[in-house]
């Protein structure tokens, strides 16, 4: 039996994050690693309190 590496959970998590990066420029909207950093920073800056 083959080993499952890229499963549904992983894909869904990545797609969800890339949706949050919609509207960003360049790699920040399409490259997962760059988008992750950009989204975390954006959410950090959006917090008011």
Q: Give me the residue spans of the domains in the chain.
A: 25-49
How far is 26 from 34, CA to CA, in rounded Å? 9
Length of the chain: 49
Residue 45 has pLDDT above 80, yes or no: yes
User: If you search the block for the tokens 């760059």, which residue do you land on?
Assistant: 34
Using alpha carbons only, give the angle 22, 5, 24 rounded to the nearest 5 degrees. 10
Residue 49 has pLDDT above 80, yes or no: no
Q: Give per-residue pLDDT as tens, 3-44.
A: 887 789 989 999 999 999 999 999 999 999 999 999 999 999
How far is 20 from 7, CA to CA, in rounded Å? 21
């Amino acid at each position: 039996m083959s080993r499952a590496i890229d499963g549904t959970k992983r894909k869904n998590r990545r797609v969800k994050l890339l949706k949050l990066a919609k509207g960003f420029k360049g790699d920040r909207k399409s490259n997962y690693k760059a988008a992750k950093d950009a989204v975390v920073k954006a959410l950090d800056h959006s917090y008011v309190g």
